[in-house]
Chains A and B, each alone.
Chain A
Amino acid sequence: MHIQPLPRRRFLKFLSLAPASMSILSVNLRADDLNSLGINCQIFNSSQLDVFIRYGQILFPSDETFPRKIDREAIQRIDEEIFFVKPKIQKDIKLALDLFEYLPITYGYFSRFSKLEVNQRLEFLTELEKTKSSTVSLMNQGIRALLLSCYYGHEDSWQAIDYSGPFAGIPEKLSAQRQTYKILTENK
């Protein structure tokens, strides 16, 4: 599929309408397998979480040398990271996820991002690499960077890439914030 993206003015107009349409559409259209991933979010709603999950399915390594459990834990870690930053950053990231969910429509796909088939998602993300829109570039860059940094920041990914980890095998030491988040999500 190769469909020209909307001109910038039409795209921005669409974005301005997107939040209103989302509140209607998001009622009945949630993916049904998210609960099985067992991610307890403090920051993101199920729609925003869905964007991370569907993006991760395309972006994360598929090679069996990478343990599958990292996928879920990386996305859980994104929620933790964003939980402790200031509200302005939280708001920007949530807005980016909300807009990203509807971005494929402006590229000619008659579907939200999370509802695209796997091959369509790959095609769409590949198209985004060519965009000259700073808004789209920033959204994509931000979501992608969160996914990848939390994936490869995960200890279980290191063996597959031959990274020896912290020098001298220093053990993990959880900060007060990490402990707080752990309690919050375990009790949810």
Chain B
Amino acid sequence: MKNIFEYTDLLNDQVINAQVCIIGSGCGGATTAALLAKQAIDVIILEQGGYYPSKTFDNRELNMAGKISAQRNFESTEDGAINLLHGNNVGGASVHYWADSYRTPQDRLELWASEYGIKDHDINDLTPAWDELDKTLHVHEASEDFYNPMNKLVRSASKKLKWHGKPVPQARKFCQKSGHCMQGCVFDAKQSQLITHIPNMLSNGGRLYADVKAKKLIVKEGTVVGLEAAVIDRRINQESGVKLTINADVFVVAAGGFSSSAFLLNNGFKSKLPALGEGVAMNPSPMVHALYSHDITQWRNIPAAYGIDEFRLARYDKDTYREGGFMLMPNQLHPAMIASSLPGIGREHQELMKNVNKIGGTIGWIDDPFDELGTISVDKNGKRIVSYPMKFKTQAMLKDLIRKQIELNFSAGAERVYLGSSKPFIFESMKDINKLDDFDIYPGQLIMGAPHPSGGCRMGENKKTSVVDSTHRVHGFDNLFVSDSSVFPTGVSVDPSYTIMAFSYVASRNIQDQLKNTRSPLY
């Protein structure tokens, strides 16, 4: 029976019935859907983006950004300082992620419990989920032959500097070392949601509706009774005019860190939930390029076999920030992205690009300071506005992250280091490091992405300071849940995919409990 529907199938208005309707197909939505379908629950996923199975991939940077990246990576924070990197396709950001699969650090889970009142998400609650996910996603540490030259340089330099690091757990199976994680894996080796939880859900009777944008929740007395959705004509990336109405017992918002709160804001929930759209983290990620005397060919093999976690937690002298608060990794970029983030004009830039094989580099992401998080709001036309003012502590962390990256690359033998920028911030040796002393970070100064959005629908018990409770249920509703990174009270401090998936296990259990209490009019 047909179970994948795309814009070419959705040509007329129709009503769709299900027990559970999930909005979004990334790590949160797909995991939740797979777990529910496994329990013989009739579940559907609505995904605004297109369905692009790996046979449609061609590993060209621009082509693939058009298929699997929201707004082709051109969307930014309100002030233009940071590019918003998220998925807009079946499988969400997992289709372009690096497959890094860190379990949530215990200190972060303890913080969320003690400071934000989160229950039932401690290390003991989540470990069984990770143990199962390790098998489902084939998570393992990469063997030596998967370390490309940049990975090896980062590992050796970190040891020289005595910075703690370790192999990054990888969600891969039969990796071909193509180096196209960010363009989607043609070989189905990277264990994205597209080839794991989505097919698991489908094989257990679930249905997938791609090219469908959730619009309006129909609410009656604290219960969501329906959802209105619009079909997107993928050929022009605009609504086709076809409307869908979804009837379900439970609705789950899993549209991702940049979109879930915006969806609920557009449904008018802010007046009852003042914390909606607040506490948005995004792991701003400055990068540096480094010119080496030998070939690096950063675009082959896996992106980050090894990561430095020495500075994961920020260090303070009493209340004054001293250093750290970030993860540090080898970078993996292909020429279009390298070119646009290297300085120089004309011949100067051309010569750098002619040596692109010798250009390596690193990237890091800051653990957004808890008291300087951003917000998501919507304007009068319902358009999302992501605000992320880079305040004092954020700036200090970014500068220290840049400083450590420069040090790391010189320690690895770099001949010259360039900040990822359109401006010529060039370092010939560590003697130049004092150039950073007067370095101001403002919009347009650096090229930075935001790969890991979270928050906006924070979890907690207080309705004034959070949006969902520890069951993932939206405060004031009995059958509306959120299951993605938007429920995190702060950033995770490591790559968030494994935290999102483990949280989805908790969400799916509570959704099942809700269904037991529901006398479905449909079944």
**Which residues of chain A have C-beta atoms less than 8 A from B183's C-beta?**
166
| Residue from the list B56, B178, B349, B350 in contact with A173, Cβ < 8 A | B56
Q: Is the CB of B59 within 8 A of A166?
A: yes
- Prevailing SS type, chain A contact patch: helix
Cα(A52)–Cα(B176), bound, Å: 39
Given the contacts A122-B345, A132-B440, A137-B445, A177 and B235 also touching, CB distance less than 8 Å: yes
Q: Is the CB of A84 within 8 A of B237?
A: yes
Binds A, one of B351-359, B454-462, B467-475: B351-359
Q: List 28 A-B contacts (CB under 8 A).
A: A60-B346, A61-B350, A61-B353, A63-B350, A81-B72, A85-B74, A125-B345, A132-B442, A134-B443, A134-B444, A140-B422, A142-B80, A145-B341, A149-B336, A149-B339, A149-B340, A152-B353, A161-B354, A162-B354, A163-B357, A167-B300, A168-B176, A172-B60, A172-B63, A173-B63, A175-B66, A176-B234, A177-B234
**Which residues of chain A have C-beta atoms less than 8 A from B66's C-beta?**
81, 84, 175, 177-178
Given the contacts A141-B447, A163-B356, A58 and B60 also touching, CB distance less than 8 Å: no
How close is B480's CB to chain A, nearest CB, in angstroms? 27
From A61, A133, A173, residue with most partner B Cβ within 10 Å: A173
A: interface residue count bin: 35 or more
From B183, B236, B340, B383, residue with most partner A Cβ within 10 Å: B340
How close is B411's CB to chain A, nearest CB, in angstroms? 27
**Which residues of chain A have C-beta atoms less than 8 A from B350's C-beta?**
61-63, 66
Q: Across the two chains, which residue of chain B brings its CB closest to A57?
A: B346
| Residue from the list A77, A134, A178 in contact with B445, Cβ < 8 A | A134
Interface size on B, residues (CB 8 A): 59
Q: B122 at the A/B interface (Cβ < 8 Å)? A: no
Given the contacts A137-B444, A152-B335, A161-B354, A174 and B71 also touching, CB distance less than 8 Å: no
Cα(A149)–Cα(B183), bound, Å: 15
Q: Is the CB of B443 within 8 A of A152?
A: no
| Residue from the list A88, A134, A155 in contact with B383, Cβ < 8 A | A88
Q: Is the CB of A148 within 8 A of B340?
A: yes
Q: B337 at the A/B interface (Cβ < 8 Å)? A: yes
Q: Across the two chains, which residue of chain B brings its CB closest to A158?
A: B335
Q: A35 at the A/B interface (Cβ < 8 Å)? A: no
Q: Is the CB of B444 within 8 A of A140?
A: yes
Q: A126 at the A/B interface (Cβ < 8 Å)? A: yes
Cα(A66)–Cα(B356), bound, Å: 15
Cα(A151)–Cα(B336), bound, Å: 7
- Given A138-B80, A167-B186, A170-B59, list of 17 further CB < 8 A pairs? A60-B346, A61-B349, A63-B350, A81-B72, A82-B74, A84-B66, A92-B80, A141-B447, A145-B340, A151-B336, A152-B340, A157-B335, A160-B354, A166-B59, A167-B59, A167-B176, A179-B235
| 8 Å CB interface, A46-100 against B | 58-63, 66, 77, 81-82, 84-86, 88-89, 92-93
| Residue from the list B67, B178, B422, B440 in contact with A144, Cβ < 8 A | B422
**Which residues of chain A have C-beta atoms less than 8 A from B444's C-beta?**
133-141
Q: Is the CB of B345 within 8 A of A153?
A: no
Q: A39 at the A/B interface (Cβ < 8 Å)? A: no
| 8 Å CB interface, A103-162 against B | 122, 125-126, 129-130, 132-142, 144-146, 148-153, 155, 157-158, 160-162
| Residue from the list B62, B236, B343 in contact with A153, Cβ < 8 A | B62
Cα(A150)–Cα(B61), bound, Å: 9
Q: Is the CB of A141 within 8 A of B237?
A: no
Cα(A84)–Cα(B347), bound, Å: 32
Q: Is the CB of B356 within 8 A of A161?
A: yes
Q: Is the CB of A126 within 8 A of B345?
A: yes
Q: Is the CB of A141 within 8 A of B337?
A: no
Cα(A48)–Cα(B337), bound, Å: 23
Q: A180 at the A/B interface (Cβ < 8 Å)? A: yes
Cα(A135)–Cα(B337), bound, Å: 22
Cα(A130)–Cα(B340), bound, Å: 18
Cα(A129)–Cα(B131), bound, Å: 51
Q: Is the CB of A145 within 8 A of B347?
A: no
The 10 lowest CB-CB distance pairs between A and B, nearest first, are A137-B444, A167-B178, A166-B59, A153-B336, A61-B350, A138-B444, A152-B339, A145-B340, A153-B62, A134-B443
Q: Is the CB of A150 within 8 A of B336?
A: yes
| 8 Å CB interface, B53-73 against A | 56-63, 66-67, 71-72
Q: Across the two chains, which residue of chain B brings its CB closest to A167?
A: B178
**Which residues of chain A have C-beta atoms less than 8 A from B334's C-beta?**
163
How close is B343's CB to chain A, nearest CB, in angstroms? 7
Q: Is the CB of A172 within 8 A of B58?
A: yes
Q: Across the two chains, which residue of chain A brings its CB closest to B381?
A: A88
Q: Across the two chains, which residue of chain A brings its CB closest to B350?
A: A61
Cα(A179)–Cα(B443), bound, Å: 35
**Which residues of chain A have C-beta atoms less than 8 A from B374's C-beta?**
none
Q: Is the CB of A150 within 8 A of B235?
A: no
Q: Is the CB of A149 within 8 A of B61?
A: yes
Q: A38 at the A/B interface (Cβ < 8 Å)? A: no
Cα(A141)–Cα(B444), bound, Å: 6
Q: Is the CB of A138 within 8 A of B443?
A: yes
Given the contacts A129-B424, A140-B444, A167-B300, A122 and B176 also touching, CB distance less than 8 Å: no
How close is A173's CB to chain B, nearest CB, in angstroms? 4
